[in-house]
Chain A
Amino acid sequence: MTLVKDSPPATRKAGSAAPAAGRGRGRRENLAGYLFMSPWIAGFLLLTAGPMVASLWFAFTDYNLFNSPKWIGLDNFTRMFDDPRWQKSVEVTAKYVVIGTPLKLLLALGVALLLAQSRRGQAFYRAAFYAPSLIGASVSVAFVWRSLFSDSAVVDRTMSLFGVHAGGWVGNPDWILYCLVALTVWQFGAPMVIFLAGLKQVPKELYEAAELDGAGAFRTFWSVTLPMISPVLFFNVLLETIHSFQIFGSAYVVSNTYCGPADATLVYTCYLYQQGFKNAQMGFASAMAWMLLVAVALVTAVLFWSQKKWVHYENDAEGAR
């Protein structure tokens, strides 16, 4: 707008008319923008866009890393759909996502509602509950988890008090997946912090109005709190779901690197790793990766489509920014 006034004296001397100076300014802004962006652009081309194209190509080839890739059309995909272990890995991952994510988010929301009442110790509890999210992905915690869920260790003995005898969860194909579910639920602190931030932004007047209208606690939660924090809820559901599709490290370590017993913890990425890096089936593994991408994209699309129905955005006008 105030191009001439903004431009430093040097350009005014060099340029002649105001529009020319404006164009020079715009060009210099473009140049500066792309110079500042250059690391990201290089990274995007070299480490994201390029590899995406390459893996799409590998997905239709037979490739073992030593011979050059050989085009085999849809063979990887037909083999994959017929492969019982692939089917098992889809089942295990789906179970993990469908059970673990809602439990984790429900706990996160419940505890956030509890902590949203500012009482003494709130900051301490918030910090303590958040800590597991930072260490949960480590090998250390996976080892600890293996110990806690071993035969006659603390979890087993506690369950026995309630008449459930599962033995060691980590050795039992019916139970070991729940050991991983427990590990992800334990890390409820990260979504909880996001919920808390959302709860803090709900205008107090709304609660006062609900109180005046004689709404009870549940009604207030359902009609005031929940709609007001629905954008934050949406964000948490989206990110947690996408992340749990990609679980690898803890499944690999908790199940002693073989994703068993009986493939009970053969999560999708575990199988992808086995096929790609143990069996050198780079083509097959790439096809698997693209199926994962398709699944994640579908879930994302469904979530974005559904948000029209349940996500309430306060300031739609600002959304354009």
Chain B
Amino acid sequence: MSATTTKPLSLNRGRTGSLVWHLGSLLVLAVVLYPVVWVIGASFKPSKDIVNSLQLFPAHPILDNFKGLADGIADISIWTFFQNSLLYAGGAVVGILVSCSLTAYAFAKIRFAGRNLLFSLMIGTLLLPYHVLLIPQYVMFQKLELINTYVPLLLGKYLATEAFFVFLMVQFMRNLPRELDEAARLDGCGHLRIYWSIVLPLCRPALITSAIFTFINAWNDFMGPLIYLNEPGKYTVSLGMMMFRDSDGVASNYGGLIAMSLVALLPVLLFFLAFQRYLIDGMATSGLKG
């Protein structure tokens, strides 16, 4: 009895309450998942039916949309775009893991002069609109002749500019038992040893969360590639799709575009299914201590 009275809304008790709860949740679920289910069904429909047919799944599913993708977009194989996106996302993950964990270790475990000031500056960059930096960064990379390379997209990831992940890791490291690194210090371990052998292994959950968020953000990134990449062979999946949309005959090959949308979503959806616990826990802790 008392178990139900301690919940935020004590309205729904007993069987009717349970029924209302499940109906409400299912209703939200239907609306939330509709676009995802729609894109799966639509990619098996002929182009002319995609917008107009209200049937979620076609009576006669076809594979033509996916077969068409094998021909590539404007003579570039779909696989090229995927390789480029993988390169970008993979490179971003490595950079974030290394640079943010080093920075977070300094904030959480080393007492150095100016630590609090630097920490406030780091938190300040969380709120800074990226667009203030966009134009000078572009000018800088243009002077260095690095436009149309992945350097502008990746450099920031190797220099810990993503304050969110530094913050996430700092929170995690602060909660590790202090005795462990104190004992290691007594044994004569330097910071590098403590960082590598004690703190990093214990931080695995925070590292996994950061890695997956970084991968997904880079995979979805649109503005960065749009501004810095201008040669179709270097395009990421997002830009490849925009090129597909602009190409001739897309009106008749709308199904191809929708199929491509589904294929581009798959890596993110798979990551989500595999690691949803890490993502949700990471998201939850970001709000609690802020």
What is A's interface to B at a CB cutoff of 8 Å?
Answer: 6, 8-9, 29-30, 32-34, 36-37, 39-44, 46-48, 50-52, 54-55, 58, 65, 111, 113-119, 121, 125-132, 134-135, 137-141, 143-145, 147-148, 150-154, 157, 186, 189-190, 193-194, 196-199, 201-202, 204, 207-208, 211, 217, 220-221, 225, 231-232, 235-236, 238, 242, 245-246, 248-249, 252-253, 257, 269, 272-273, 276-277, 282, 285-286, 289-290, 292-293, 296, 300
B156 close to chain A: CB less than 8 A: yes
Q: Judging by beta carbons under 8 Å apart, are A201 and B288 in contact?
A: yes
Q: Judging by beta carbons under 8 Å apart, are A55 and B51 in contact?
A: no
Q: Judging by beta carbons under 8 Å apart, are B265 and A140 in contact?
A: yes
Q: Assuming the A-B contacts A128-B29, A132-B32, A194-B286, are A52 and B223 also in contact, with contact meaning beta carbons closer than 8 angstroms in the complex?
A: no
In chain B, positions 49-78 with a C-beta closer than 8 Å to chain A are 50-52, 54
Q: Assuming the A-B contacts A114-B24, A117-B8, A140-B262, are A193 and B280 also in contact, with contact meaning beta carbons closer than 8 angstroms in the complex?
A: yes
Q: Return the contact of A139 from the options B51, B222, B283 (Cβ within 8 A).
A: B222
Q: Judging by beta carbons under 8 Å apart, are A36 and B22 in contact?
A: no
Q: Give the distance in Å from the alpha carbon of A238 to the alpha carbon of B126 in the complex.
A: 11
Q: Judging by beta carbons under 8 Å apart, are A50 and B280 in contact?
A: no
Q: Which residue of B lies closest to A269 (CB)?
A: B131
Q: Judging by beta carbons under 8 Å apart, are A144 and B132 in contact?
A: no
Among the stretches B86-94, B110-118, B201-209, the one at the interface with A is: B110-118
What is B's interface to A at a CB cutoff of 8 Å?
Answer: 2, 4-12, 18, 21-22, 24-25, 28-29, 32-33, 35-36, 38-39, 42, 50-52, 54, 98-99, 102-103, 105-107, 110-113, 115, 118, 121-122, 125, 127-140, 142, 155-156, 158-161, 166, 185-186, 188, 190-191, 195, 216, 219-220, 222-223, 227, 237-238, 241-242, 245, 257-258, 260-262, 264-265, 268-269, 272, 276, 279-280, 283-288, 290
Q: Assuming the A-B contacts A58-B136, A252-B222, are A292 and B131 also in contact, with contact meaning beta carbons closer than 8 angstroms in the complex?
A: yes
Q: Give the distance in Å from the alpha carbon of A126 to the alpha carbon of B128 in the complex.
A: 30
Q: Judging by beta carbons under 8 Å apart, are A140 and B39 in contact?
A: yes
| B48 shortest CB reach to chain A, Å | 13
Selected A-B contacts with CB under 8 Å, 12 pairs: A30-B113, A34-B112, A37-B106, A48-B161, A135-B36, A139-B237, A140-B262, A144-B261, A154-B54, A193-B284, A204-B6, A248-B223
